[in-house]
Amino acid sequence: MSKKCIGIDIGGTSVKIGLFELDGTLMDKWEVPTSKENNGESILKDIAVSIKAKLKEKALILSDIAGAGMGLPGPVSPDGYVEVCVNLGWRDRYPERELSQLLEGVPVKSGNDANVAALGEMWQGGGKGVKDLVTVTLGTGVGGGVILNEKIVSGSHGVGGEIGHIHVRDGETEKCNCGGIGCLEQVASATGIAREARRMMATSEEPSLLREKGDQVTAKDVLDAAKAGDRLADAVVETASRYLGLVLAQVSMTVDPERFVIGGGVSKAGDFLIERIWKYYDFYTPISKNKASIGLALLGNDAGIYGAARLILD
């Protein structure tokens, strides 16, 4: 029987787990609750128990597993050390070592969840077939991941790929969640797009469908209205797209990927958004006609388990 591998994506609410063939075929996936009591003491134990139960169900044993990978919500040092995972309550842990012991010596590797998701998109998603890509996740915040030569680039301090916190807007007065001011996340995330719409409604008398939503307006409302020809909503999308295009150009000039893969809830706007971003990205990269393409992520919430499983093939 051929070896299998396991991908684990640890989130603040649930842990997603996938059982894979080594060629990336997903055999099964399931979830367990993230138990954060006592600073997340039982999280890894719960994962190990769940994996053993699934293997028994599949008539497999631990020696059939080539390894397990984990995506963690925080920076991960090259030696597997995790200084802090705020959403889990972890501090000063070596989760790779701990889970390997719980799985009786099965090799375990880990990485930051955003970077691991990027690896998943490269392996079996929107970046399949390329070796160098950058993912941009437009959700509540703006996340990112850099993959070069099929390897995660997390940097010396674990903040590689944090493109949501690149400064883009001078004159901003509100602070970002990171403590900075004028970050990409403040204008191009789902929350940022909604905030931009509220600001524009407050400072403009332009008629708009969004005014019916008032302070409850969402990024989806903005994108839907823009698609319908609403001028105020269109201006909001144009602003977000301009800053996204600018940052992609800056990243392109730094790491020169083959492809940018855009994911997250905001990316559901599809080509309508991609074409806007491309317009500005192309404008800000006149140095060469040969440049990265921009496409959509394909794996959705499964990107983390795919990328985690891919970790053990390195």
Residue ranges per structural domain of the chain: 4-120+302-311, 130-298
Q: What are the DSSP calls for 178-189, one per residue?
A: TS-BSBTHHHHS
Q: How many whole angstroms separate alpha carbon 164 and alpha carbon 143? A: 6
Question: What local confidence, expressed as pLDDT, does residue 136 receive?
Answer: 95
Please name the residue that has the structure tokens 């889970």.
99
Q: Taking residues 68-78, report their average pLDDT.
A: 90
Residue 310 has pLDDT above 70, yes or no: yes
Average pLDDT, the chain: 94
Reply yes or no on whether the pLDDT at 75 is more than 90: no
Place of tokens 């890509």: 133
Q: What pLDDT sits at residue 183?
A: 95
Angle between helices 43-57 and 95-102 (to 10 degrees): 40
Mean pLDDT of 217-240: 97
| Higher pLDDT pick, 265 / 66 | 66
Distance from chain centroid for Cα 4? 25
Residue with tokens 């970077």: 115
Q: Kind of pairing, strands 26-33 and 65-72?
A: unpaired
Are both 4-120+302-311 and 130-298 of the same fold? yes
pLDDT tens digit string along 2-46? 899 999 999 888 999 999 999 999 999 999 999 989 999 999 999
Q: Are strands 65-72 and 4-10 parallel, antiparallel or unpaired?
A: parallel
Task: Dump pLDDT digits (tens) for 172-220.
Answer: 999 998 889 999 999 999 999 999 999 999 999 999 999 999 999 999 9
Instruction: Report the chain's C-alpha Rg in angstroms.
Output: 21
| Beta-strand pair 259-263/293-296 | parallel
User: Is residue 229's pLDDT more than 80?
Assistant: yes
Paired with 142 in beta bridges are: 138
Question: Residues in the chain, how many?
Answer: 314
Per CATH, the homologous superfamily of domain 4-120+302-311 is ATPase, nucleotide binding domain (3.30.420.40)
Mean pLDDT along residues 165-175: 94
pLDDT at 73: 85
Q: What is the pLDDT of residue 1?
A: 66
Which one has a higher pLDDT value, 75 or 274?
274
Q: Which of 74-83, 143-152, 265-274, 287-296 has the lowest mean pLDDT?
A: 74-83
Reported pTM:
0.88
Superfamily of domain 130-298: ATPase, nucleotide binding domain (3.30.420.40)
For residue 125, the tally of other CB atoms under 10 A from its CB is 26
Tokens at 205, concatenated: 């008398």
The pLDDT tens digits of the residues spanning 89-137 come to 899 999 999 999 999 999 999 998 889 999 999 999 999 999 999 999 9
